[in-house]
Structure 1
Amino acid sequence: MVEDNRGAVSASPALDRELLDAKFNPPPPRPGLASRRTLVDRAVGSGARVVAVTAPAGYGKTTLLAEWASTDARPVAWVSLDRFDDDPAALLTLLAMAFARIFPDAAEVVAEMRGQGASALGRSAPLLAAAMSDAAVPFLLIVDDLHEADSPACQDVLEVALAGVPDGSQVVLAGRHEQAHLARRRVEGSAFEIGAEGLRADAAAARVIFAGAGVDIADPELDALVARSEGWPTGLFLAALLARDGGEPASVTGDDRFVADYLYRECVRSLPEDAQRFLRRTAILEQLSGPVCDAVLDRSDSGALLRELEAHGLFLVPLDHRRGWYRYHALFREFLLGELAASENGSAIRLHLAAAAWYEEHGLPAQAIEHLLAAGDRTRAARLVAALARPTYLVGQVSVVTRWLAELGDAAIQAYPPLAILAGWAAVLTGAPAEAERWAAMIERIRFDGGDDEDLPMFESARAMLRTAMYTHGRERAIADATLAVASEPPWSPWRDLALYLSGEVSLLSGDVDAARSSFEEAAALAPQVGVTDAVLLSEAELAILAAQDHRWTDAERHAAVALDAIDAVHMEGYPTTALALAVGASVAIRRGDRSAAERLLARGMRARVGCTYAMPFVSVRVRLQLAVAFTASGDGVTTNHLLREIDDLLDRCPDVGALADEIAAFKHEVLDQPAAGSTPLTPAELRLLPYLQTHLTLSEIGRRLFISRNTVSSEVGSIYRKLQVTTRGEAVTRAVAIGLLGA
């Protein structure tokens, strides 16, 4: 289902890299603005590991940060966020990339920031914290526009990552809203805060602003202007531009949005109509360059006009040193969008469609999707989401796919059934049974002939594979569906590996081991063609299990090594589909006497099993059986018995598992008389909760994150403490890290 095909996310690596690099470049200091050096010196002198710069738009947050970045003696890393970064895996990846720019030895940690579900909080964030704590010298990491990534999941991973900031280093977080963890740091005295009050301009700063605009203003008039504006920097800057162009700046009365609109309008009014129209229409773009503006506006001089507008001081922020890409100041863009809606109602749709066409043509489909959604073109958006869902899932950004699906809505997805198939698979592979059942029910109600999409499976085949994986109608129907899928998917189909893998699984359920082995071998052999997919990974794991059962340990070790190397190579840590390979890998390690490796693999496998739910029942049962086999070999009968109880719970929902039931019965008989040594493992629910103990969230807040009651959280936390033999959160986290349940 999931290919190692990151190129599908961006077919234009050079342009994608250009836009990505722009996020790590601090804007050059703007001339004609008052220095904020006093504030910077106070923040540096505080020694606080975290500095929060919090104020509404227009208070000069980025200006302060740019000056700080250009004057600090420490290695400086910078990252600017946008709404595409409101995903824990995306946020952690950007922070790690910024950090690796000043500490190249930490580059390996960037690849570890991927992962889905609890993996980002339980593994990726602690790894980033550890990398920062090991920095060779003190550093400065500046994060601008943090309000763009303020989802609870992003707040949680950020809090864990910040725990690794060492003495002498500082992370500066700038945004429009106060960060949730700031209150605790305020009490602890571990944060330095710069708010709107500290960013207000006094008379001296206002004098610099007016001088930079080439305007001479008398002291009394300037003092009155500062008082009326309450020191609002953007208001004073607008007033200076207005005065420069012959207007009357006395209308500034504070940071009210209506005043800003008035002042912007007055500043723009003196421009030629062509320039005004350019500003309005390009405001639909979050990032501007000459080529994309040319495409959206059907003109050829946008690059020159952008440079001219920047020289005019009209709130264009360069995103790179070559002046190839820009963005509008946030308040100015909001004003321009309002003007566009008021003066050219209806043109926004056409402009968004033109932007989408340019981004799609230039290999940036994720940006194209956003413009298509803004234009209301859900048909084209659905096709692009279908193309991007798999590679986006692979890099751990499951919440991005979820947001796209939510914005498209069920009607648009039903109108393009291949997307419903992908949504169903995403739910199955991330262990979300309720969502999987919802999509499966929708898929059963719709009809689709396959359209003209060569890269998508025939709909009937795809539907059959989803039914097989979910084991919706029992063993006989699963056999028929798997047979249909293998017959329907030609050798060149990107879905053939999945069809073969599922055929192997139902053959095992029927007791036909030879047929199963043949299907798994054929699926695994497709790896050079399709990349590392969930199906290839699971097939290699099953081949290792079959070899181990035949006591062919050399073959078992070879297949397990291929699977484990693949997990590490494409950074699939935390994905439920890795659990089977981790389990059999542990058994192989125990067989060769490597207990340390086995313990690490078992810890990873137990974490990954959390997502192995009844959404894919026979895989989830087999995962627990193989984990139980490994724990039995390691002498841990308590964990074995716990896993067997989990198997019984799954079988209550799905009793007809054919020959797998015989395997379970034989194993239970084998371990019946063994002593139950060992400690009770954490349940899947407890493993989902465990990463939140790294944060300072209250029990009620953790409950809201996990959609469970406070009482349930309290009960699970108590159980975690008992099983880990600790009494506090800190001790629980330390113990979990030590045994590989967190951060490993």
Structure 2
Amino acid sequence: MSVSRTAEDRRQGARDPVVRRDARGAGPVPRRDAAGAPHLRRGTVDRTALVGALMSAPASVVTIVAPPGYGKTTVLVQWATRAGQPVAWVSCDLVGQDPASLWSAMVGALGRFAPPGWAAPDLLARTGGDVASVPALVSALAELDDGVMLVLDHAEAITGPECWASLAELALRLPAGWRVAFASRDRLPLPLSRLRMGGELLELGIAELALTTAEARELVANAGVELDDDRAAELVRETEGWPAGVYLASLALGAGEPASGSTFTGDDRLMREYLRAELLPRMSARERDFLMRTSVLERLSGPSCDAVLETTGSADTLEALESRNLLVVPLDRRGEWYRCHHLLRDLMQSELRHADAGVELALHRRAEAWFAAHDQPGPAIAHAQAAGDADRAAVLVLEAMQPTWASGRIETVRGWLEWLSRHPPTELYPAIAAHGALIFALLGSSGEAERWIAAAESMPATGVLPDGSSQAATLAYMRANLAREGLVGIERDVALALGGLAPESPYRATMLHSAGLVHLLGGELAAAETDFGDAVALAGAAGAQPLVALGHAEQHLVARGLRDRTAADMHLEAALVAVEEARLDHFWTSALVLAAASRAAAAAGRVPEARALARRAARLRPLLTHVLPVVSVQALLELAHASLDLVDPAGARASLDQARRILVRRPGLGRLRDDAAELAARLGRITQADAAGFTSLTAAELRLVPLMSTHLSFPQIAEQLHVSRHTVKTQVTAVYRKLGVSSRRDAVDRIEALGIA
């Protein structure tokens, strides 16, 4: 299992959408500014009453929920410019569906106000931003000197339940002086009742956002048309105060044409009719066709539109549309990137869907090719999926899934895999499933891993992958990691994998590591030393720091077996440095590093250090399962030895019991069975009853512990962990008993005091 990290998917965090309006009062135009400061140009209707309500409200959480075109962004920008505190702006439609992506965007926006050495980026890299990590992230947010206003615009684009669980935890834990504002088309899945009861919530909707007669009159005046009070009031009645409707009517009036009398009530059909009546007549047929065909793109640039349309001059067309206030939105000051206002894009997509279906598919295929050529795998995969091209999506996923997972975007990878499971590609599906199985194995998700193992083995492993590796070699690589047939099977599968993996395949390092395991567990220490050394060298060249750390830990065990203390200490230090520098505390590969380091520190009498390392290793025990048995058992046995040396027999017994359960399912792992038996005998000689504690928690109980300090109820925790409510109740009772507490609050206090959350 080759593991590597990349900062590729963190780039969004440095982008801060800023909002401007055109001089005639057009709809909100999200825009990215190098300084990241929201601003409005002249001509904007001043929503004085709304902004005043926002300024005076004591609420720390603000929700603005209304259909498109109600000026949600405009109100937020006007509030932000007068808030008197730093503002961090995140446009949620430009981030992914993983907590890691969302928090990367938020931390990137907040980083403009952060002091040097701010802890949040490193903390996020270690934790991934899931709900259990939010308490620690909020503590890092509190390091900022002043309270910050965090704006999450277009929140309806967030659909991942993990993201919303994380945001709910943030809303309930905001540091003093902070505010968070959500703007959304759809109802927000936040604990609104709890926030209302605490007086922390201000809610704005259609009624509050509708324009008054005076505001409508001002907006139309910005288009060069003067209306008396009666006509302005009539326009408000016709549009029900819908700001976008009033704006579109102002365009018609400015052109000397009567405005449509259609009433807008929030219905999509009526909205499209209004746009067709008031906006499309302002465009030429060529412009309408341009916008219809490029509506497959979320963001528009001259080159990307040229590629999709197989034409030239798209940059000039975009500039012209924007300059004429036709709801084409610039995203940067250089005029390179744009997007259609959501109202217009929705209409254009509807028009495209009613055109020849083959045209839409062809447009998506061209978009996929352009994004793939420009090293943007996420959009490329989305367009391949939209085109229904499973084979092309598979090629892209196979290349992108490993770095995407390593960056913390687990839900993105899961989404790709689920889509491919419904649209199996003709040749690459076994390899995709094999890599998916190992990714979920590394996350400790044994059920999902087993499902993808079965999928990988359900189809013929024929053909060659894009990098030149054979499918058969890829499945052998998977089987070697699974070790279902013990050391004999590992040795066989390693040989098959190395014979069929491409020379440049990053997975060759993993197979050399597996060869070292066979030799180590078979007692051939010299051969193991060579294999692990080769594996570390290859992993280092490939930038796979988790495997580098793990390889050094294995070299430490070899040197310890050879009684070469100098080499053992050197390799252990190198392993720890790799974990610290690459922030790998939450990686499966780090369990053995931390456990071996704890054992070494305990043996040397460095008790506080050994205990701290043991706690870090114990937090990774939920990741150690039978799916990746060899290193999992190694880590558990090392941790058990460390616990015994620290006079913690209860902790040793918990780790040993977990290791023995794995060995029951994977019995052919050489000397590991003997090591477990010797440790069990040593524990059996301890007759005195020992006090339970954190280290005695089972792996299942350890999964529960980080969620106890969140807002999630026990039934919600059960849902999060995919177990029954009864199971969670039983585990909670065990946690209380082992921690010596009687309530959730006391348990959380104890967990925080021990530093184990």
Q: TM-score, normalised by structure 2?
A: 0.91
Where 2:567 maps in the other structure, the secondary structure is: helix
CA–CA distance in structure 2, aligned partners of residues 282 and 411 of structure 1: 26
Where 1:52 maps in the other structure, the secondary structure is: strand
**Where do 1:260-299 residues align within 5 Å?**
260-266=271-277, 267-299=279-311
Where 2:177 maps in the other structure, the secondary structure is: coil
Q: Deviations over 1:289-338 (max 9, x none)?
A: 22211221223222222222222222223222333222222222111100
CA–CA distance in structure 2, aligned partners of residues 452 and 638 of structure 1: 48
- The residue number in structure 2 matching 1:129 is 138
Is 1:161 aligned to residue 170 of structure 2?
yes
Is 1:728 aligned to residue 743 of structure 2?
yes
Residue of structure 1 aligned with 2:491, choices 471, 479, 495:
479
CA–CA distance in structure 1, aligned partners of residues 618 and 564 of structure 2: 25
- The residue number in structure 1 matching 2:22 is none
Is 1:441 aligned to residue 454 of structure 2?
yes
- The residue number in structure 2 matching 1:142 is 151
CA–CA distance in structure 2, aligned partners of residues 283 and 106 of structure 1: 42
Q: Deviations over 1:466-496 (max 9, x none)?
A: 1121122333222222233345557644222
Residue of structure 1 aligned with 2:579, choices 560, 567, 571:
567
- The residue number in structure 2 matching 1:6 is 6
CA–CA distance in structure 2, aligned partners of residues 560 and 498 of structure 1: 19
CA–CA distance in structure 1, aligned partners of residues 194 and 14 of structure 2: 37
**Count of aligned residue pairs for this structure pair:** 736
Residue of structure 2 aligned with 1:389, choices 384, 392, 401:
401
CA–CA distance in structure 2, aligned partners of residues 452 and 563 of structure 1: 33
Residue of structure 2 aligned with 1:423, choices 432, 436, 443:
436
Residue of structure 2 aligned with 1:691, choices 701, 706, 711:
706
CA–CA distance in structure 2, aligned partners of residues 115 and 660 of structure 1: 30
Is 1:462 aligned to residue 474 of structure 2?
yes
Task: Name the amino acid aligned to 2:135.
Answer: P
Is 1:237 aligned to residue 252 of structure 2?
no
Q: Would the aligned equivalents of 1:129 and 1:163 in 2 still touch at CA under 8 Å?
A: no
- The residue number in structure 1 matching 2:662 is 650
- The residue number in structure 2 matching 1:222 is 232
Is 1:62 aligned to residue 77 of structure 2?
no
Q: Would the aligned equivalents of 2:120 and 2:141 in 1 still touch at CA under 8 Å?
A: no
Q: 1:458 to 1:569 in 2, by over 3 A?
A: farther
CA–CA distance in structure 1, aligned partners of residues 606 and 172 of structure 2: 33
CA–CA distance in structure 1, aligned partners of residues 600 and 122 of structure 2: 27
Residue of structure 2 aligned with 1:706, choices 710, 721, 725:
721
Q: Would the aligned equivalents of 1:635 and 1:678 in 2 still touch at CA under 8 Å?
A: no
- The residue number in structure 2 matching 1:738 is 753
CA–CA distance in structure 2, aligned partners of residues 138 and 470 of structure 1: 49
Task: Name the amino acid aligned to 1:235.
Answer: G
Deviation at 1:26, TM superposition (A): 6.0
Deviation at 1:163, TM superposition (A): 4.8
**Where do 1:40-119 residues align within 5 Å?**
40-82=51-93, 84-105=95-116, 107-115=118-126
CA–CA distance in structure 2, aligned partners of residues 596 and 34 of structure 1: 63
**Where do 1:503-522 residues align within 5 Å?**
503-522=515-534
- The residue number in structure 1 matching 2:27 is none
Where 1:251 maps in the other structure, the secondary structure is: coil
Q: Which runs of 5+ in 1 are unaligned?
A: none
Q: 1:596 to 1:330 in 2, by over 3 A?
A: farther
Deviation at 1:741, TM superposition (A): 2.1
- The residue number in structure 2 matching 1:379 is 391
Where 1:173 maps in the other structure, the secondary structure is: strand
Q: Deviations over 1:161-186 (max 9, x none)?
A: 34553222222222222232222111
Where 1:582 maps in the other structure, the secondary structure is: helix
CA–CA distance in structure 2, aligned partners of residues 23 and 737 of structure 1: 40
Q: Deviations over 1:528-548 (max 9, x none)?
A: 311125433322222223334
Q: Would the aligned equivalents of 2:595 and 2:614 in 1 still touch at CA under 8 Å?
A: yes
Q: Would the aligned equivalents of 1:414 and 1:446 in 2 still touch at CA under 8 Å?
A: no
Q: Deviations over 1:237-285 (max 9, x none)?
A: 2222233331433223422222210111121123110111111111111
Task: Name the amino acid aligned to 1:243.
Answer: L
Which moved further from structure 2: 659-668 or 289-298? 289-298
Which moved further from structure 2: 270-279 or 407-416? 407-416
Where 2:265 maps in the other structure, the secondary structure is: coil
Task: Name the amino acid aligned to 1:419.
Answer: I
Task: Name the amino acid aligned to 2:451.
Answer: R
Q: 1:81 to 1:57 in 2, by over 3 A?
A: same
Where 1:105 maps in the other structure, the secondary structure is: coil
Residue of structure 1 aligned with 2:543, choices 531, 534, 546:
531
Task: Name the amino acid aligned to 2:197.
Answer: V
Deviation at 1:415, TM superposition (A): 2.4
Task: Name the amino acid aligned to 1:316.
Answer: V
Deviation at 1:636, TM superposition (A): 0.7
Q: 1:247 to 1:722 in 2, by over 3 A?
A: farther
Q: Deviations over 1:34-66 (max 9, x none)?
A: 222432333233233322222222221111122
Task: Name the amino acid aligned to 1:217.
Answer: L
- The residue number in structure 2 matching 1:544 is 556
Instruction: Please give the root-mean-square deviation of Cα atoms over the aligned residues, in Å.
Output: 2.7
Q: Would the aligned equivalents of 1:703 and 1:709 in 2 still touch at CA under 8 Å?
A: yes
CA–CA distance in structure 1, aligned partners of residues 174 and 346 of structure 2: 35
Where 2:89 maps in the other structure, the secondary structure is: strand
- The residue number in structure 2 matching 1:29 is 40
Q: Would the aligned equivalents of 2:486 and 2:668 in 1 still touch at CA under 8 Å?
A: yes
Q: Would the aligned equivalents of 2:476 and 2:493 in 1 still touch at CA under 8 Å?
A: yes
CA–CA distance in structure 1, aligned partners of residues 709 and 15 of structure 2: 36
CA–CA distance in structure 1, aligned partners of residues 416 and 86 of structure 2: 37
Q: Which runs of 5+ in 2 are unaligned?
A: 19-30
CA–CA distance in structure 1, aligned partners of residues 139 and 460 of structure 2: 51
Q: 1:42 to 1:590 in 2, by over 3 A?
A: farther
